[in-house]
Chain A
Amino acid sequence: MKHAISLRIGPFGFRVGSAWPEPIIALAHLYHGYPAPHDRVADFSVRLEPERPWRRWLRPSVAIRGDFMLSDAAPMALAHGLLAAEMGMNLQMALGQRRYLLLHAATVERDGRALLLTGESGAGKSTLAALLGEHGWRLMGDEFALLDLDRGLFHSFPRAISLKNGAIALMEAQVPASRFGPRLESTPKGAIRHLRPGDGAIADMDKPARPAMILFPRFGFERAVRPVLGAEAFVRLTQASTNYVALGEPGFMALTGLVGQAPARAIDYPDGESAIALIEQLWAELKR
């Protein structure tokens, strides 16, 4: 394709091609400092193409295509081309990735041990991961947690964090502007601004971590903590996985291993600051 970029996020190499230069320029800026794919071989290809040939010039409309795609994915405006590229890369992971059990969850690491945060959209996974990443934790990923099928370790997938609406200003107050992508207005999910993880998260992206705790956060409620037993955690995590069924028995073994070794808690929180305090407290109790 006319415009293209290759980069590696954790274990996976991506090649993103585009009919227009803008999305590739935006990606190159956002992913500045990321390595090239291992052996220069991309695991997944993403294509940003005009939805119909004339839509390259006339009211440009970006169709998200690639090795794996959804036939009914709605095309996007060229102004949201960066978001289209991100969605294209996410789609490859969700539909095509079979090396790891993939959980729709954020992961952060400290002292070689990983904390998993999972929940429905709006639970605050990305925001909490971004906050923790600026407060003494290594961000491993804000969207996908990769659980290894043999050793039961989490692997890092530190793509750019997708901040939405209120979370944007929250992080703008703490992080230098150079790490942000452009602010994208009125996307299907409202305003979105991507944040590049800190240098440490990128430098250490090949270091896995042993699962230590699973949290199911819920934003917008009074502070509360409830233990979640293994069976419930297991079922909720199967729902958070995109490839649990496709992986068959190895996926089942990996997931039972995870809930067997990491205690789970459901937490409610009214704002980011109290969430951080609560997570630190639970983490400290865990170590005792």
Chain B
Amino acid sequence: MRDARPLVRALVDPVSVDRFDGADWTAVIACARAESLIGGLAHRLEGRYLPDAVADLMADARRSAAQARVHALWEAEMAGRALAGLNIPVILLKGTAYAAAGLDAADGRSIGDLDILVPRTALDRVEEALLTAGWEWVKDNAYDQLYYRRWMHELPPMIHRGRDRMIDVHHTILPPTARPKPDVEALIEDSVALANGLRVLSPPDKIVHAAAHLFADGDLAGGLRNLWDIDRLVRRYDAPAFRDRLAERARLHGLSSHVARALRLARSLYETPVDPHLAGRERLGDGLFERRLLARDGWGRECSKLLRFSFYVRSHWIRMPPLLLARHLWNKARA
């Protein structure tokens, strides 16, 4: 198995696994683990006839994801309680949000850190409330603290000393130095309240955020799973009126081209039903993105090293103007 294509096929079309032999399964399982898609795969294959060894392993993956979901929702509840006195909107992001909102994007999804979005004006009070409630800084050196506060869209990561779980407190969804400038007031304004008082982004904003996270905030590590999130979200909400709202929100946040590329890649890899108008015409780079997303072999190893490296360079380039980047790398090298 030279790239992750068989895994992608198995997710899209579970019938394709019927011709797998033991070696094919072993390869797809290793690849799925490396891409954090084993739980998603296990959900897609639920109820299918599988070899006993595979059925057991998939049941393990589903059980493990179900437990991860309990942990993630409990962590959200704990953060919600710590911040309850501030009377501010606390918006769950990414995996925790999908789980809390009962979306099938959360089925089998691993959930690591708790990501929340709060109004920037409340940031100091949020920080203080979390520190009081048992969270502490992961990196407490002056440069990291300064770097995050000046240049990032989130506070430096904190970890709860009793539960050993990390929280990322965002005040917007992209670094302020990135070229797109999402309208964070609109994100908060349109967010949707859950029964427990916590909030999640509106459906189109969830997709816009997922696309921003995929392309504008990193080197596409874990991109296959992030694109799978987008596929699940689009399939969940897709309807003519929704397509218009998605186009409108993408434009509002200055992320139309990101959303368009996400939709094109999702359509190409996961056969996602997308708005052809919003997805737009195929662009030159799409093939490179696709190859980068698939760069994982049947031993779970990263392949296409040069392509991976160029995306790593790109991730810094798009997040920081050149002079700032030089300064950051200089400081990192000295540390």
Contacts and interface: CB of A to CB of B under 8 A. Distances in A.
Contacts of A1: 299
B63 A41 contact: no
Interface in B40-71: 51-54, 56-57, 60, 63-64, 67, 70-71
B26 A45 contact: yes
Given A43-B57, A45-B299, A45-B300, A38 B30 contact: no
A99 B29 CA distance: 16
Given A39-B53, A41-B53, A67-B33, A17 B64 contact: no
Given A246-B64, A247-B67, A47 B301 contact: yes
A15 interface: yes
A39 B50 CA distance: 10
A94 interface: no
Interface residues of A, number: 24
A248 interface: yes
B21 A98 contact: no
Contacts of A247: 67
A35 interface: no
B102 interface: no
Contacts of A248: 67, 70-71
A60 interface: no
A37 to B, nearest CB: 7
A47 B300 CA distance: 9
A98 B33 contact: no
Interface string A96-120: 1011000000000000000000000
B25 interface: yes
Given A40-B22, A41-B22, A99-B56, A17 B67 contact: no
B241 interface: no
Nearest to B22: A40
B66 to A, nearest CB: 9
Contacts of A98: 60, 63-64, 67
B131 interface: no
Nearest to B63: A98
B23 interface: yes
A66 interface: yes
B300 A39 contact: no
Contacts of A96: 33
A250 to B, nearest CB: 8
Given A98-B63, A98-B64, A247-B67, A37 B53 contact: yes
Contacts of A17: 299
15 contacts: A13-B53, A15-B26, A15-B30, A37-B22, A39-B53, A41-B25, A41-B29, A41-B53, A43-B53, A45-B29, A66-B300, A67-B30, A68-B33, A246-B64, A248-B70
Given A43-B57, A49-B301, 16 more contacts: A15-B30, A38-B53, A39-B22, A40-B26, A41-B22, A42-B26, A42-B29, A43-B53, A45-B26, A45-B30, A66-B300, A68-B33, A98-B60, A98-B63, A98-B64, A248-B67
Interface of B: 21-23, 25-26, 29-30, 33-34, 51-54, 56-57, 60, 63-64, 67, 70-71, 299-301
